[in-house]
Every structure is written in C-alpha cells, then in structure tokens.
C-alpha cells in the first residue's frame, strides 16, 4: 500500500528488500517479545517498539548495501505507520482473546507430592494464563494448608459437589505415573459430568535432558476427557449451521406454512410441540416440532415414546412422522444457536437420566450441540429405543461422529439424509 501511494518505480526493488529484511528481523525478534506477554502493557508495547526498530534496521541495511538508495520519506512513514498500527491492533486482539478465554477456563487441580506443589507454584507465577485455578484437592492430608488463596479440599464428596456447583470447566490430575488408582477414581467420579479432564504426569525424573513443561499453562498434559471440537472448528460448524438453516427455512417456507395450516385443522391444539431437551454442555432448551399427536396430558417425569400404531398420533401427524417433516421447525432452534444441522439427536431429559448410568459414553453426546440429523440416523438408528442395545448402538455412532468430525463429514450426512433419510421404516 505504501509503495502504491508514495513509492518510486526506480526504488521498487530496494523498497521490497527493506520490507523483506524487516520481516526477517521481526521473525528473529518475536521469541524475545513473546517472553514479555506476562505484562499487560508490555505485551503490546514491546512488539510495537521491536517492529519500529526492525523497520529502521532493515532500511539502514539496504542503504548500507546500496549507497545509491535514498528511500522516500513519505513511503517510509506510510509503511512504518500502517504496519505499526497492524502490530498494535493484533496485540490488542490477542490480549482481548486471552482475557475472554481466562474468564471461561476455570480449573480444579488434584495431586500430591513435590511435582504437584511445584506445578502449582509455577502456574501461580504466570500472570497471563488462559486458565484460572479455583479449587485444589490435596491427596496428602498431612500437608500444611497453603497460603496461595485457592480453595482447598480434602473431602472428596465436598470437592465433587463444589466442582459441579461452580460449573468448573476442567479437572487437572497432577499425579505420579504409578498412581493409577487415584486416576481411575476421579475418572469414575466425574464419568457423568461434561468436564474436561487432563493428566499431568510427573515426567521430571524420566526426562534425560530437559524436563520443562511442553505447555506453558498446563505443563505436559494428556487429555483423558476433552471437548471433541476446538474453538475454531466449533466456529466453522456454527457458521455452516446458521447459513444452512437460513437457506433451508427460506426454501421450505411455503411448505412450512401448508404444514402449519394442516396441523391446526387436524385437531385442537397448538401448531408447534415444545419439549425440554439437553443441549451442548448439558444446557436445557426447548426443541420445536410440528405437533403430530392429539393434545394430551402426561405424567410428571414420564415421557412415553411413540410406538407403531400409537393411537395418540393424528392422521397428518402420521404422515409428518414417516417423512420426518415434523422436524422442520428445528431449523429455528439452529438459528437460535441451540442446535446444529448435524449432530447427536437430543433425547427427552427423562431418558437422559435413565441412560447415562447404563450406556457407556452416553453423556459425551452433549459435548456439542445436538443435531436435526446425525450419523446414527442416516445409518438407520432412529425411532423408538425400546432396548439398551439399541441405545448403545446409537451412542456408538454418535461418538464415532464426534471423533471424526469435519465439515465434509457434515455435508456427507446432510446429503445422505436428503437421499435416504426422510422416510424410514423406524419413523412412526
């Protein structure tokens, strides 16, 4: 931009060389600037000053190699000012992102011994971590109470209750490699919680040359239970979902209106059926469907699944259920950010309480937003789940989807739903 505005054609090669040298100098200096990230102001000012120095050194280097080179002052000022503004802006964006992430990454730590205490001290010495330790569970009951200000527990029941009440995001286990019993104990304790669990083993005695942490915040960590999608992947999935849902609703709006009229004329009651379901991270939301049954009252805490030939289903409702058109209003849930186009199908909250203790991995379905369609549905696993085996198969397909997610996989499932997923013998 600076060259287009103020550059001279005779000096184009020299100006380009100066810019290239500045980039190389900055690349070499970035490791020094990165060490200043702990200071709120220094994390922005230091890179800005370093970049100005790189600009000046690069221009001087080219002038020294080519004595005939005399850069335009207007070009240099525009180049230095615009790139300096970019460096400062990027620093501010990174700073804001770290603050946001720090507010959303609360941690509870479990451990004992020197490795545990050393890790805590190193962590507390960091001033710009994306994590915040809110609680610690000391396995060594004889240890003196620390003065670090972190809430300390030595009763495992109270610790688990606090983690759940405060909605802690992650559990870190700073334990020796040989302490498998404690590791398994906490994995079992939080097996039905949407909690990320990391194992921070003591590797200092086994590292031959360097025992420094691989991760500056969490030390060397092994993810035992973690979210299947990164923040960037989740953002891409959300963008796809919103765009697809908006286009789908626009395309089927005439059909949407016709179905609403037919449902209203078929029997007394509302057009839309609403029911509470669990969404991402277990947050409840109301799912929308076209009403397919006669209005009726159900017992509290009991949800009776639809069966073949169910007398509660209306005539138009039977058609809607066979063709899955009763699911169309769920695109509104997608636009509201409560569901995805593709993901594990949400079950009634009462069914969640039943299956999470008997179906292995069931709770992990809610680590992402539930979907209108999913990998299990396009493989024929839909409709009534009248046995534990059927639910286990559905969950296994959902977990496969979580482990292998990609936008291409989502598109593949959508296409499979369009081709063979609307009508199925299990849809009744």
Q: What are phi and psi of 293, to 5 degrees?
A: -120, 160
Top mean pLDDT of 17-21, 51-55, 66-70, 404-408 is at 404-408
Predicted pLDDT at 400: 94
- Cα–Cα dist 399/269, whole Å: 37
Residue of 215 and 164 predicted with greater confidence: 164
Question: Which of 8-22, 57-71, 350-364 is predicted least confidently?
Answer: 8-22
In the predicted model, is pLDDT for residue 383 greater than 80?
Answer: no
Per domain, the residue ranges of the chain are 2-102, 104-225, 231-421
Highest mean pLDDT among 32-46, 70-84, 159-173, 410-424: 159-173
Of all residues in the chain, what percent are helix, strand and coil, respectively (each to 5)?
50, 10, 35
Higher pLDDT among residues 18 and 331, named by residue? 331
Residues with Cβ < 8 Å from 370, sequence gap 6 or more? 277, 278, 279, 280, 339, 340, 343, 344, 345, 346
Confidence (pLDDT) at 102: 52
Give the CATH architecture of domain 104-225.
3-Layer(aba) Sandwich (3.40)
Instruction: Tell me the H-state helices in 148-269.
Output: 156-165, 180-189, 231-266
pTM over 0.85: no
- Decide if 135 contacts 162 (C-beta within 8 A): yes
CB 372, CB 341: distance < 8 Å: yes
Over residues 171-191, the mean pLDDT reads 91
Residue 276: CB atoms within 10 A of its CB come to 13
Tell which wins on pLDDT, 82 or 41: 82
In sequence order, the 6+-apart residues with CB closer than 8 A to the CB of 42 are 36
The pLDDT value recorded for residue 168 is 93
Q: Does the pLDDT value for residue 296 go beyond 70?
A: no
DSSP secondary structure letters along 58-95:
HHHHHHHH-TT----HHHHHHHHHHHHHHHHHHHHHHH
Which pLDDT score is estimated for 135? 93
Confidence of residue 422 (pLDDT cuts 50, 70, 90): low
pLDDT at residue 213, rounded to an integer? 44
| d(C-alpha 129, C-alpha 75), whole Å | 39
């Amino acid at each position: 931009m600076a060259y287009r505005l103020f550059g001279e054609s005779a000096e184009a090669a020299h100006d380009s060389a100066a810019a290239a040298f500045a980039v190389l100098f900055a690349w070499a200096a970035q490791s020094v600037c990165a060490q200043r990230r702990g200071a709120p102001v220094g994390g922005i000012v230091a890179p800005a000053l370093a970049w100005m120095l790189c600009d000046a050194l690069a221009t001087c280097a080219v002038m020294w190699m080519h004595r005939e080179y005399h850069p335009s002052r207007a070009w240099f000022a525009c180049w230095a000012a615009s790139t300096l503004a970019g460096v400062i802006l990027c620093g501010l964006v990174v700073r804001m992102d770290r603050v946001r992430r720090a507010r959303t990454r609360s941690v509870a730590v479990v451990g004992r011994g020197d490795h545990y205490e050393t890790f805590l001290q190193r962590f507390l010495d960091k001033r710009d971590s994306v994590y915040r330790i809110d609680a610690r569970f000391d396995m060594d009951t004889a240890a003196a109470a620390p003065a670090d200000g972190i809430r300390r527990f030595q009763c495992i029941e109270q610790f688990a209750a606090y983690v759940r009440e405060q909605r802690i995001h992650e559990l870190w286990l700073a334990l020796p490699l040989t302490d498998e019993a404690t590791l398994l104990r906490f994995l079992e304790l939080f097996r039905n919680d949407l909690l990320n669990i990391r194992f921070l083993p003591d590797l200092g005695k086994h590292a031959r040359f360097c025992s420094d942490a691989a991760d500056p915040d969490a030390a060397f960590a092994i993810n035992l239970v973690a979210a299947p999608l990164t923040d960037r992947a989740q953002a891409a999935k959300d963008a796809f979902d919103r765009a697809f849902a908006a286009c789908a609703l626009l395309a089927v709006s005439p059909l949407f209106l016709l179905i609403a009229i037919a449902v209203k004329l078929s029997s007394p009651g509302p057009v839309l059926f609403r029911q509470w379901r669990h969404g991402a991270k277990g947050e409840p939301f109301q799912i929308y469907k076209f009403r397919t049954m006669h209005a009726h009252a159900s017992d509290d805490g009991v949800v009776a699944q639809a069966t073949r030939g169910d007398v509660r289903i209306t005539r138009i409702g039977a058609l809607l259920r066979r063709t899955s058109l009763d699911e169309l209003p769920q695109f509104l849930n997608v636009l509201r950010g409560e569901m995805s186009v593709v993901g594990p199908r949400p079950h009634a909250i009462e069914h969640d309480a039943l299956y999470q203790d008997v179906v292995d991995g069931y709770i992990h379905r809610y680590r992402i937003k539930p979907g209108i369609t999913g990998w299990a549905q396009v493989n024929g696993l839909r409709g009534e789940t009248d046995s534990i085996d059927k639910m286990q198969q559905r969950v296994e397909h959902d977990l496969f989807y979580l482990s292998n997610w990609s936008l291409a996989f989502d598109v593949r499932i959508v296409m499979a739903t369009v081709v063979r997923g609307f009508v199925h013998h299990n849809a009744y």
